[in-house]
Amino acid sequence: MTAITADQLLARVRGLLAAHPPADTDRTDFLRARFDAGLAWVHYPEGLGGLGAPRSLQAVVDAELEAAGAPDNDPRRIGIGLGMAAPTILAYGTEEQKHRFLRPLWLGEEVWCQLFSEPGAGSDLAALGTRAVRETDSGDWIVNGQKVWTSSAHTARWAILIARTDPALPKHQGITYFLCDMHAPGVEVRPLRQITGEAEFNEVFLTGVRIPDTHRLGAVGEGWAVARTTLMNERVSIGGMRIPREGGMIAPVAAAWRDRPELRTHALHQRLLELWVEAEVARLTGERLRQQLVAGQPGPEGSGMKLTFARLNQEISGLEVELLAEDGLLYDDWTMRRPDGVDFTGREAGYRYLRAKGNSIEGGTSEILLNIVAERVLGLPPEPRDDKDLAWKDLAR
Amino acid sequence: MTAPTAPTTPPAPTTPVAPAAPTDLLYSETEEELRSAVRALLTDRCDAKSVLARAETDRPHDPELWRTLAVGIGAAGLLVPEKLGGQGASHREAAVVLEELGRAVAPVPYLTSAVLATEILLGCDNAEATSLLRELASGRTVCAPAVPLTLAPGAPPPTPVRDLGDGSLTGTVTSVADAVAADVLLVLADTGLYAVLAASARLTPQVPLDLTRPLATVTLDAAAGTRLADPGTARAAVAGALLSGAGLLASEQLGLAEWCLTETVGHVRGRHQFNRPIGSFQALKHRLARLWLDVASARAAARAAADALATAAPDAPLTVAVAQAYCSGVAVRAAEECVQLHGGIGMTWEHPAHLYLKRAKADSLALGTAGHHRGLVADFAELPAP
């Protein structure tokens, strides 16, 4: 079959809209019809919400649906499922797993979270110590350990989980990837209050959690390769958002500058202009990256976008607090809450400043990402490492 | 490690800045072919050693190289319409030529003659200007605007030259780039714009920081000029040329920065200290990774400026100001990192790093500093000073 064209896709979208007019259709019914028409994620295979179309054509579908006032699947609430779990299940799942999990994931009927990081395994994720031991009689896996920085764990029905299945092997080799039922006995989720006063994240304690072998993703001991697929998709989705000129973090600062002339100083003006220029250049860099992807010539620039946005978000939000003078001394609300999504730019300046501190830590610290750029893009040699061939159980911790 | 994946829709801009029109930030096939031709020529005829050797003579320009670039490849006439003898191409192609010239710190009067003087003449609509434009487009004549290299878009052009009557011009202009390579000078006088034969002016070479772009003081003592435009037209033509020049200079800065990055990465991969390549130390890796990010960003900014000029986008002045405010600093940083990360060899006369550092630093003053361009951004984006 030759790839579907934009016109054919548009015809399909119009057919969907005609058969299920958004104004008269229940939201869930519409989303189900959209998924079954292959218009959920067009680059996925037929039968799994897609049509095997080029990924770039998704924009055509989204624009047409948005113009028709169609409901969406609230991607903000199910970001980890869409951005990380789904592409990994698609790449490594069995047919049963793909058919069981992808539809409710996309529809938002089942929220996903990611059980990767641990108190003792951050940047060195492959050193993780959560153990999965196979029970001889049942063939099930019994999992014990602790995970941390888990967004959406309190709303999630499922988790992608990596655990150690062979401590005698070097750290990258003894890991296996699982799909974990968050409602299973032994899963305990505790909010982890953060710098903003909220608890976006959680700690997850796993005590004797039973996972059937049918919920293993990929082969035993191949979990690191599977996890890398997840992590690549994570970084793409963090750095890849499209923003208009003067959109994102710079917007509220520019607005405050225009609205409140009494706050202006020469020193702040110079910094504002430098950051405005950098934000515009970052926007253009992201735009160029997208044009390269559409033209089928993806560049390595993607590896850098998250680094740039982390630094700019922090500098710009820092400037905003300073610009606000007396108001910069205030904070909107320290109440401990558990939001069901993530918001970098919402609320007030103090929140933006504090939340942005996470941007250079979450999804790979900026220091680790600089190593990745240096080694994979520039071809610089890795630092000498003595941990690669050591058995995990013999590592210092 | 766990991180949010779908940030909220960013707030819509509240800016008076018009939304950017679709901009083509890539290189077309034709542009890549042009690049290959220019790069092959420069690899063959403009290696660092010969640039350095030439820079130490009293003839820093390379007329043979210019002839092949301007006439053979046709690069001199890229901005000139075909009906006026040019290639009928655009700023996008000229930008690619400048990227390559920057990469080679080539001592040719491209920015001055094929961009600035050409754009000034394109802004003067009369027979004399058109005929001069034809000569420039053919590459046979080199023309330099007799203005200081630091003259910036948005700054009022100084008019130190007075017309004593009948186009008899008297006055002195300093820091005129490429004047010593020019056949004709474009002189802005109180009564308009004039073409003056370089032979009728007194050119006093200055000792330039950037050895590859010679500067001279131009002294006119009742020199005969041909009038090309009245004062109003002249000012507009010069303003347009400065905008184009500043926008395209960003591409020269990009090429220059790219050379510095590539050269430095190559050096730290091969140089061993402490029994390992020095490029395996994180202190150096992180610096180079940051520089790579800066260069990738500079490419987007420079391409945006070239495209905005080529399509005469309404927001071209803002896009150019953004590109200059950004790319100037990247080129200087790249050249400074190149010197530092080469260690002692980076400080020598023998290694070409200094040619790039000097060009980068001089470029950061040419056609307006980053600070001047940020001031323009403040005007266009309505972010006024206190």
Residues B308 and B340 in one domain: yes
Q: Is there a contact between B95 and B148 (Cβ–Cβ < 8 Å)?
A: no
Residues B180 and B60 in one domain: no
What residues in B contact A342, CB-CB < 8 Å?
4, 6-8
CATH architecture of residue range(s) A240-364: Up-down Bundle (1.20)
Residue contact A345–B10, C-beta within 8 A:
yes
Checking if the pLDDT of A346 tops 90, the result is no
Q: Which residue type, as a one-letter code, is found at position B101?
A: L
Q: Is there a contact between A204 and A162 (Cβ–Cβ < 8 Å)?
A: no
Number of domain units in chain B: 3
Residues B339 and B254 in one domain: yes
Average pLDDT over residues A70-96: 93
Closest residue in chain B to residue A365, using alpha carbons only: B1
Residue ranges per structural domain of chain A: 6-72, 80-221, 240-364
Q: Which of B208, B229, B250 is the last residue of a domain?
A: B229
- The confidence score (pLDDT) of residue A345 equals 83
Q: Pick A378's closest partner by Cβ from B17, B289, B297.
A: B289
Q: Is there a contact between A37 and A11 (Cβ–Cβ < 8 Å)?
A: no
- The confidence score (pLDDT) of residue A5 equals 86
How far CA B284 is from CA of A58, A375, B239, B290, B343, in Å, comes to 40, 12, 42, 10, 12
Average pLDDT, chain B: 94
What residues in A contact B8, CB-CB < 8 Å?
76, 341-346
B7 located within any domain = no
- The confidence score (pLDDT) of residue B2 equals 42
Q: Pick A245's closest partner by Cβ from B5, B20, B293.
A: B20
Q: Is there a contact between B136 and B143 (Cβ–Cβ < 8 Å)?
A: yes
Residue contact A380–B285, C-beta within 8 A:
yes
Topology adopted by domain A80-221: Butyryl-CoA Dehydrogenase, subunit A; domain 2 (2.40.110)
Residue contact B285–A371, C-beta within 8 A:
yes
What residues in B contact A297, CB-CB < 8 Å?
26
Question: Which carries the bigger pLDDT value, residue A47 or residue A233?
Answer: A47
Residues B238 and B372 in one domain: yes
- CA B246 to chain A, closest CA, distance in angstroms equals 16
- The confidence score (pLDDT) of residue B9 equals 40
Residue A367: active-site member:
no
Q: For the domain that residue B298 is a member of, what is the CATH number?
A: 1.20.140.10
Dist CA B30 CA B41 (whole Å):
17
Q: Pick A273's closest partner by Cβ from B3, B279, B378.
A: B378
Question: Backbone dihedral region of B23: left (phi > 0), alpha (psi from -120 to 50 degrees) or beta?
Answer: beta
pLDDT digits (tens, 9 = 90+) for A295-306: 777 777 777 888
- The confidence score (pLDDT) of residue A59 equals 82
B330 located within any domain = yes
- The confidence score (pLDDT) of residue B8 equals 39
Q: Pick A381's closest partner by Cβ from B1, B8, B277.
A: B277
B171: containing domain: 162-229
pLDDT digits (tens, 9 = 90+) for B183-205: 999 999 999 999 999 999 999 99
Q: Which of B229, B244, B273 is the last residue of a domain?
A: B229
In B225-379, DSSP assigns E strands to 226-229, 272-273, 276-277
Residues B34 and B172 in one domain: no
Dist CA A359 CA A83 (whole Å):
17
* Local confidence band at B13 (pLDDT 50, 70, 90 cut-offs): very low
- The confidence score (pLDDT) of residue B17 equals 58
Residue contact B383–A371, C-beta within 8 A:
no
Question: Which carries the bigger pLDDT value, residue A8 or residue B6?
Answer: A8
Judged by DSSP in three states, A187 sits in strand
Residue contact B322–A280, C-beta within 8 A:
yes
Q: B2, B299, B341: which to substitute to probe chain A, counting the most A Cβ within 10 Å?
A: B2
Question: Backbone dihedral region of B349: left (phi > 0), alpha (psi from -120 to 50 degrees) or beta?
Answer: alpha
Q: Which residue type, as a one-letter code, is found at position A69?
A: G
What residues in A contact B282, CB-CB < 8 Å?
367, 370-371, 383
What residues in B contact A80, CB-CB < 8 Å?
2, 5
Share of chain B above pLDDT 90, in %: 90
Distance in angstroms between the alpha carbons of the first and the last residue of chain B? 43
Checking if the pLDDT of A234 tops 80, the result is no
B336 located within any domain = yes
Checking if the pLDDT of A138 tops 90, the result is yes
Share of chain A above pLDDT 90, in %: 79
* Local confidence band at A236 (pLDDT 50, 70, 90 cut-offs): low
Residues B214 and B239 in one domain: no
Q: Is there a contact between A177 and A219 (Cβ–Cβ < 8 Å)?
A: no
Residues A36-62 as b/e (b if ≥16 CB within 10 A, e otherwise) read ebbbbbbbbeeebbbbebbeebbebbe
Enumerate residues 6+ apart whose C-beta is below 8 A from A208.
A142, A143, A144, A185, A186
Dist CA B80 CA B129 (whole Å):
12
- The confidence score (pLDDT) of residue B10 equals 41
Checking if the pLDDT of B1 tops 90, the result is no
Dist CA A264 CA B376 (whole Å):
18
Checking if the pLDDT of A272 tops 80, the result is yes
Checking if the pLDDT of B49 tops 60, the result is yes
Residues B115 and B181 in one domain: no
Judged by DSSP in three states, B5 sits in coil
Q: A62, A117, A245, A368: which to substitute to probe chain B, counting the most B Cβ within 10 Å?
A: A245
Dist CA B147 CA B230 (whole Å):
17
Dist CA B327 CA B370 (whole Å):
8
- The confidence score (pLDDT) of residue A99 equals 98
- The confidence score (pLDDT) of residue A2 equals 63
Checking if the pLDDT of B11 tops 60, the result is no
pLDDT digits (tens, 9 = 90+) for B225-240: 999 999 999 999 999 9
Average pLDDT, chain A: 93
Of B3, B365, B11, the C-alpha closest to A279 is B11
Residues B244 and B357 in one domain: yes
- In this prediction the ipTM stands at 0.94
Residue contact B10–A241, C-beta within 8 A:
yes
Residues B277 and B193 in one domain: no
Residue contact A76–B6, C-beta within 8 A:
yes
B150 located within any domain = no
Checking if the pLDDT of A1 tops 60, the result is no
Give the lowest-confidence range in A49-63, A211-225, B199-213, B294-308. A49-63
Checking if the pLDDT of B178 tops 60, the result is yes
Closest residue in chain A to residue B285, using alpha carbons only: A374
- The confidence score (pLDDT) of residue A4 equals 84
Dist CA B365 CA B97 (whole Å):
21
Dist CA B154 CA B240 (whole Å):
10
Residues B103 and B189 in one domain: no
Checking if the pLDDT of A238 tops 60, the result is no
- The confidence score (pLDDT) of residue B52 equals 93
Enumerate residues 6+ apart whose C-beta is below 8 A from B235.
B157
B109 located within any domain = yes
B280 located within any domain = yes
* Local confidence band at A235 (pLDDT 50, 70, 90 cut-offs): low
What residues in A contact B378, CB-CB < 8 Å?
269, 273
pLDDT digits (tens, 9 = 90+) for A243-269: 899 999 999 999 999 999 999 999 999
Most confident by average pLDDT, A101-115, A302-316, A371-385: A101-115
Q: From edge to edge, which strands make up the β-sheet containing B184-189?
A: B143-145, B184-189, B192-197, B226-229
Other CB atoms within 10 Å distance of the CB of residue B21: 12
In A116-157, DSSP assigns E strands to 131-134, 141-147
- CA A300 to chain B, closest CA, distance in angstroms equals 9
